[in-house]
Structure 1
């Protein structure tokens, strides 16, 4: 019910490119969000997802996040996980376009899961070095096999809990960070604060499921008001923030 109410509010306040007066955001929206090019890579994204949907193997899950609204057991089938928990094909295509648009060379993902979004991050730009963190060893082992099967070579998967992995990161900064692993207010804010100093002027942070719960919505509001954040974009399912000092501080709500 919370998400339904929030989505109605989102529709009432949202706009498309015609309501955007920032040249930077306007170009991003028109050239990336609304890019309807049928990229060849889309077939690879679709095949990766189909391979998971056709895998009935079950694995034991260690869930370190906010839990699941779908599963009652930690023994879960890959195909059911891919259907209910993985990024949709529409969102992976968008993630691919975002990477293609900004061309990050160092990307960090919190929450590898089955690697659906990770693949999009990796294929968006060949020079992108993707570091992805997964807390569950069984998922990590399975997804590593998936990456090898699809010959994705620019991904480094770390199997550790987020807080430990983040404290050990070697990179001083990241061009893109995708937060997709713990839909919890306190954890989201903790990881954001741990990574804020690794952002530079042209970095982009993307937060998944910002309206997952009232607490996640609160976290998103706090993140938007951080002194280093100049631009935020709310697409309902994702929240994006930028740190461009040349931009006036402004919040955008964009329909996709």
Structure 2
């Protein structure tokens, strides 16, 4: 059912979506043209590619503790790092976009829910190398593997927290974040809970990014509820990602943009 839903929702997305020419907000227009559609070949892309290749060549098998919505691919708790990197981690284009986002938005304080093997984490860090980046991973073995990779690639400013998301973020509510990336638990109630818990951490310039907003009907329902929240002013649906902004100077508006 989930795959059928994803295919149907993608065709519906294509019918609704536009490019920069359908955007009348100067902030969103600049974000789309200067960041989303930026075709420059940044040197950091080679580092992103090298990190991914490092994982794809690692045949180590890990015992997985899954605290989220589970996997649509893996049917066992034993998974090789190489297989996880090939099917479960951010793909190359997604990682490049995350790099451009922290680079373009100049994010100095970043929170990620769902480290996995750190593909997205590395990309977020490369975009703003001295940003304070906290990433939370529920599985101790995956967390340890990510830490080892970060050390190998000399990523110095990443704080890996190994804990259940709910417990971990309860201790972070007094912080402020420029960017929060939600990529670990694709269940409706959990997503809404994390969103509400982390609302006190926002500033006027904060962006929340939700991964896989069409993962399931429940995940899309969570996305639609988030869009209507009174503190949310601008949202951008790119099918893969849902971007949420809290800019008080902007009228509430929702955009559907093809990447």
Q: Please give the TM-score of this superposition, normalised by the length of structure 2.
A: 0.98
Structure 2 residue matching 1:109: 3-state secondary structure: strand
Structure 2 residue matching 1:38: 3-state secondary structure: coil
CA RMSD of superposed structures (Å) = 0.7
How many angstroms apart in 1 are the aligned matches of 2:67 and 2:95? 23
In the alignment, which of 216, 219, 224 is matched to residue 221 of structure 1? 224
In the alignment, which of 54, 58, 72 is matched to residue 57 of structure 2? 54
In the alignment, which of 241, 250, 253 is matched to residue 238 of structure 1? 241
Are the aligned partners of 2:176 and 2:201 in contact in 1 as well (CA < 8 Å)?
yes
How many angstroms apart in 1 are the aligned matches of 2:26 and 2:145? 43
Are the aligned partners of 2:236 and 2:255 in contact in 1 as well (CA < 8 Å)?
yes
TM-superposition CA deviations, 1:82-127 (whole Å, max 9, x none): 0110000000000000000001111000000000000011110123
Counterpart residue number, 2:150: 147
Counterpart residue number, 1:19: 22
**Which is worse superposed, 171-180 or 199-208?**
171-180
How many angstroms apart in 2 are the aligned matches of 1:123 and 1:102? 13
Deviation at 1:167, TM superposition (A): 1.0
Structure 2 residue matching 1:202: 3-state secondary structure: coil
Structure 1 unaligned regions, length at least 5? none
Deviation at 1:170, TM superposition (A): 6.7
How many angstroms apart in 1 are the aligned matches of 2:175 and 2:80? 38
Counterpart residue number, 1:96: 99
Counterpart residue number, 1:70: 73
Asked whether 1:126 is paired with 2:133, we answer no
Deviation at 1:177, TM superposition (A): 0.1
Deviation at 1:197, TM superposition (A): 1.2
**Which is worse superposed, 230-239 or 126-135?**
126-135
Deviation at 1:21, TM superposition (A): 0.4
Counterpart residue number, 1:208: 211
Asked whether 1:163 is paired with 2:166, we answer yes
How many angstroms apart in 2 are the aligned matches of 1:180 and 1:168? 19
Structure 2 residue matching 1:132: 3-state secondary structure: strand
The alignment of Structure 1 onto Structure 2 pairs a total of residues equal to 256
Are the aligned partners of 2:173 and 2:201 in contact in 1 as well (CA < 8 Å)?
no
Asked whether 1:34 is paired with 2:33, we answer no
Are the aligned partners of 2:64 and 2:78 in contact in 1 as well (CA < 8 Å)?
yes
How many angstroms apart in 1 are the aligned matches of 2:219 and 2:161? 25
Structure 2 residue matching 1:200: 3-state secondary structure: coil
Are the aligned partners of 2:174 and 2:200 in contact in 1 as well (CA < 8 Å)?
no
Deviation at 1:172, TM superposition (A): 2.2
Asked whether 1:184 is paired with 2:222, we answer no
Deviation at 1:154, TM superposition (A): 1.1
Counterpart residue number, 1:80: 83
Q: Please give the TM-score of this superposition, normalised by the length of structure 1.
A: 0.99
Structure 2 residue matching 1:251: 3-state secondary structure: strand
Structure 1 residue matching 2:206: 3-state secondary structure: strand
Deviation at 1:253, TM superposition (A): 0.2
> Using a 3 Å threshold, how does the CA distance of structure 1 residues 11 and 170 change in structure 2: closer, same or farther?
closer
